Structure 1
Amino acid sequence: MANAKGYAAESADSELAPISFERREPRPDDVSIEIDYCGVCHTDIHFAENDWGVTQFPVVPGHEIIGRVTAVGSDVTDYKVGDTVGVGCMVDSCRTCSACETGLEQYCQDGMTATYNGEDRHDGSITYGGYSDSVIVSERFVVKVPEKLDPVSAAPILCAGITTYSPLRHYGVKAGDKVGVIGMGGLGHMGVKFAKALGAEVTIFTRSESKVAEAKQQGADHVVVSTDDRQMEAAAESFDFMLDTVPVQHDLNPYLNCLTFDGTHILVGLLESVAPPLEAGNLVFKRRVLAGSLIGGMPETQEVLDFCADHGITCDVEMIDIRNINEAYERMKKGDVKYRFVIDMKTLKAA
C-alpha cells in the first residue's frame, strides 16, 4: 500500500479538508500516475454532500484527471514512464459483457467502477479520486493526452467533453444539421464547440438575455432566450437535435416543440425524474425521440481527445489552488464559473 495525500469530505455537512489515505498496491496491468491537474465537476459536489444518498465517507472526489506516468506494471504495453495521460469517470468494468466488448464500458451490464466512491472489483476497497497527488489505474482505463492539447484545459474533456461529444457522434450529427444546446455551463459550452466542429448550425437556448453575447462568443450561430415566448414560437419545429445539458428539473415540453419530425432530444445533465410531466403527444405526433447518454467508453474517450487536438478545441477553465476548493464549490452552485474549475495539484503540497 502506498500513502497518498488529498482532499476529502468526511461527512455530508463537512467542508473538504486535507487527508492522508492508502492507495492500493499496483497490479501487473496498472499504470501509476502523479496527478498534475484535476477538473471540478458538479457531480463532485453531489457526492461530497451526499445528495444522492450513496456516498461512502470519506470521499475524495475528482474524475477529470491529468498526470504523468511514474511506473507501469509488467503487463502494460501502451504507456511508459513520463507519458502525459488522463483518467476519466471510471477505472474498471467487468470487461466481458457485450457492452464492454464493444468499448462501451460505461454501460457495463455488471456496473462500471467509478473513479471515486466505487468498489474495487478485486479487493473490495473503495476508490478515491483525483483531488490527490497520485492514482493507480488499469491500463485499459487510461488515455493518452495528445501533445497538441494543453493539459490544463484538457482535464474537463474527460467528463464535460466526452459527455457532450459521445451523443453527438452516436446520433450522427453531421454538416447541415440544426442543433440546439440547452444550457451554457461546463457541458453546454463544450457541446457548442463539438457540434460546430461537426459542421452543424448551432443555437444556444438560455434563460437569460444577459448571456446572448457570451453565447455568440462561444461560437453559437444563434441564441434563443427560452423565457421569451415569441422566440420560442419562432424556433418551433426547427431542430434536428436538442442537446440538453441542464442538471436540474425543467420543463422539456417547450424544447420538444422545437424539434422537427424525427428529431431527437438528448438528456446528458438530468438524473432526476422529469417534472413537470411530459406531454406524450409531443413525441407521438412527430415521431420524436427522447434519449439519454452517459459519458463515453474508453475508445471514444481517446477519440474525443484526439478530435480536440485536431480541431483546436479546449475547455474554458479557471485554475484554482486546492485550498480554495470549498469556495469553488459555492461559486459553482451559483453558476459563477466560466466554465470549469481545474485544480493545480502543485498546490496540494502547500496545503
Structure 2
Amino acid sequence: MKAIRCKAYGPPSSLILEEMESLHPNANEVVVQVKACGINYPDTLIIQGLYQFKPELPFTPGSDFAGVIKSVGSGVKHLAIGDAVFGFVTFGALAEEVAVPANACFQKPGKMDFSIAASFMIAYGTSYHALKDRAQLQKGETLLVLGASGGVGLAAVELGKLMGANIIAAASADDKLALCRDYGADQTINYSKTDLKSAIKELTNGKGVDVIYDPVGGDYTEAAFRGIAWEGRYLVVGFAAGNIPKIPLNLPLLKGASLVGVFWGTFAMKDPKANMQNAMTLMKWYGEGKLRPHIHKIYDLEDTSKALQEMMDRKVKGKIVVKI
C-alpha cells in the first residue's frame, strides 16, 4: 500500500509518497481501506514537530478518514469487513490503509459521500464537545468564534446557531466572513481591519460575549478575552496563529470568567460513550440537513504536500480533503 511518510520534521515539501507493507489489525482494531482523508491544521504542526506530541519518526500523518473496512481484529463486534466507515486516529490516515481502534470508527451514513465523511468527525466533534460539554452554551447567549472560516471554526458557527446562540464570526478577510454569514453568523468582525476588543464591545452594547471559541491563539487571544462578559467562558481550542499566548490572570478574576481547555481527541478516548452520544446527535442533524460541511478543495494523495501548504498559507475556507 502507498502512504505519505514524514521521515524528518520539516515543511510539507519534505514529505514523500512511499510503498509500504499492508496492515493487519491488532485486537479491538480494524484496518480501513481509506477513500478520503480530511486535512486539519494540527497536521501541519505534527510534521514540523510543533504539536503537543511527536510521533516516532518515520510516521504517516493524517487523522480524519473515511473508507471501507478491509479486515477486523479479535474482539470487534459492531463492525464487519465491507462496512463503510469514518473516524479518527492520532496519525496514519494519509495512506491507502489505516489501522484504527474500533471505538474510534463509526458507520458512515449511506447518503454521506466519503469526502464529506472525512471532513466531519474532527471539525464537528471538536466544536460540539467544546460548545455543549465544555462551555455549556445556552440558547440566547452570544458566541464569538475566532478563525471562523476554518474547519473547526465554521463548524462552531454552524453548531452554535443550531443551538440557539447569537453568533459573532471573526476572521481575517471579507470573503471568509461572507462564508460565515452563509453558515449562520449574525454579525462579523474582520480583525485584520478592526480592533477586536472595540468591535466586540460595539456589537454587544458593552456587555461582552458569553462564550469565546478560539482555535487561533496568538495576538488575538488577550484582545478577545478583554471583550468577554461577566461569567463568560473562554474555550482554548488551538493555536493556528503559531504561538501560544499568555493571559494576565487578573482578566478572568475581574470578569468572573473561566478559561476552559478543549482537547477533543483525549475526551473521545477517555469517554467513548459520551463521544458516541455526541456523534449520534451530529449524525442525526446531518441526516436532517441541518449540517453541511464545506469542502474548499480536493487533492490526490500524491499532492498531499500542496494541500498541507495551502492550509499553512491560511488560504483554506472550511476543509481540504485528500482523495485516495
- For Structure 1 versus Structure 2, the TM-score category normalised by the shorter chain is 0.7 to 0.9
CA contact (8 A) 1:212 1:223 kept: yes
Q: Supply the RMSD in Å over aligned alpha carbons.
A: 2.4
How far is 1:56 from its partner?
2.5
1:53-68 to 2 correspondences below 5 Å: 54-68=54-68
- Spell out, residue by residue over 1:220-255, the C-alpha distance to the aligned partner (whole angstroms, 9 max, x if none): 111123342442331443321111121x52242321
Contact 1:148 1:309 in 2 (8 A): no
Distance change >3 Å, CA 280–CA 326, structure 1 → 2? same
Residue in structure 2 matched with residue 194 of structure 1 by the alignment: 159
Aligned residue type for 2:299: I
2:127 aligned residue (135, 159, 164)? 164
| Contact map agreement 2:65 2:117 (CA 8 A) in 1 | no
The one-letter amino acid of 1:232's match is I
Aligned residue among 137, 142, 149 for 1:178: 142
Q: How big is each residue's C-alpha offset from its partner over 1:281-328, in whole Å with a ceiling of 9 and x where there is no partner? A: 321122111111101413344344433332231321121111211112
Match of 2:6 among 5, 9, 17: 9
- Distance of 2:27 and 2:254 partners within structure 1: 55
Alpha-carbon deviation of 1:24? 5.3
Q: Go from structure 1 to structure 2 and tell me whether the alpha carbon gap of 1:263 and 1:39 turns closer, same or farther (over 3 Å shift).
A: same
Distance 2:44 2:223 in 1: 29
Matches of 2:75 and 2:248, distance apart in 1: 53
Alpha-carbon spacing, 1:280–1:143, altered in 2? closer, same or farther (3 Å): same
Instruction: Give the Å deviation of 1:65.
Output: 1.0
The one-letter code matched in structure 2 to 1:69 is I
Shift of 1:55: 4.3
Distance 1:319 1:255 in 2: 33
Tell me how far apart the structure 1 counterparts of residues 45 and 248 of structure 2 sit (CA, whole Å): 29
Q: 1:54 to 1:28 in 2, by over 3 A?
A: closer
| Corresponding residue SS for 2:125 | helix
Residues 170 and 177, structure 2, Cα contact 8 Å, conserved in 1: no
Q: What is the rounded CA distance, in whole Å, between the counterparts of 1:280 and 1:325 in structure 2? A: 41
Alignment of 1:228-307 (within 5 A): 228-229=194-195, 230-234=198-202, 235=204, 236-246=206-216, 248-270=217-239, 274-275=244-245, 277-295=246-264, 296-297=267-268, 298-307=272-281
Q: Percent identity?
A: 21
- How far apart, in 2, do the equivalents of 1:23 and 1:300 lie? 33
Does the residue aligned with 1:49 lie in a helix, a strand or coil? coil
- Pair 1:325-2:299 in alignment: no
Conservation of the 8 A alpha-carbon contact between 1:146 and 1:305: no
Q: Which amino acid aligns with 1:27?
A: N
SS at match of 1:19: strand
In structure 1, what is the Cα distance between the partners aligned to 2:189 and 2:128? 22
Given the superposition, is the C-alpha separation of residues 224 and 338 from structure 1 closer, same or farther in structure 2, using an over 3 Å criterion? closer
1:86 corresponding residue in structure 2: 86
Write out per-residue CA displacement over residues 144-188 of structure 1, whole angstroms, 9 at most, x where no aligned residue.
223343331121222222121111111221322211111121111
- Asked if the contact 1:265/1:291 (under 8 Å) is kept, the reply is yes
CA distance in 2, matches of 1:71, 1:42: 30
Match among 89, 94, 101 for residue 138 of structure 1:
101
Q: Conserved in 1, the CA contact under 8 Å of 2:9 and 2:49?
A: yes
- Cα shift readout 1:36-64 (whole Å, capped 9, x = no counterpart): 11111222222222235834322211110
Q: Is the 8 A contact 2:176 2:317 kept in 1?
A: no
The one-letter code sitting in structure 1 at the alignment partner of 2:110 is E
Q: Is the 8 A contact 1:62 1:131 kept in 2?
A: yes
Contact 1:143 1:301 in 2 (8 A): no
Residue equivalent to 1:49 = 48
Partner of 2:284: 310
Q: What is the aligned length?
A: 303
Gaps of 5+ in 1: 90-114, 117-128, 346-351
TM-score of the aligned structures, taking structure 1 as reference length:
0.78
Cα displacement (A) at 1:329: 1.8
Contact 2:201-2:208 at 8 Å conserved across structures? no
Residue 169 of structure 1: SS of its match in structure 2?
helix
Rate the CA distance shift 1:193–1:182 in 2: closer, same or farther, 3 A.
same
Once residues 177 and 87 of structure 2 are traced to their aligned partners in structure 1, the CA distance between those partners, rounded to angstroms, is: 34
Equivalent residue runs for 1:214-233 within 5 Å: 214-226=179-191, 227-229=193-195, 230-233=198-201
Secondary structure in 2 matching 1:156: coil
Q: Output the amino acid matched with 1:239.
A: V
How far is 1:15 from its partner? 2.3
- Name structure 2 gaps, 5 residues minimum: none
C-alpha distance 211-27 of structure 1, shift in aligned 2 (>3 A): closer
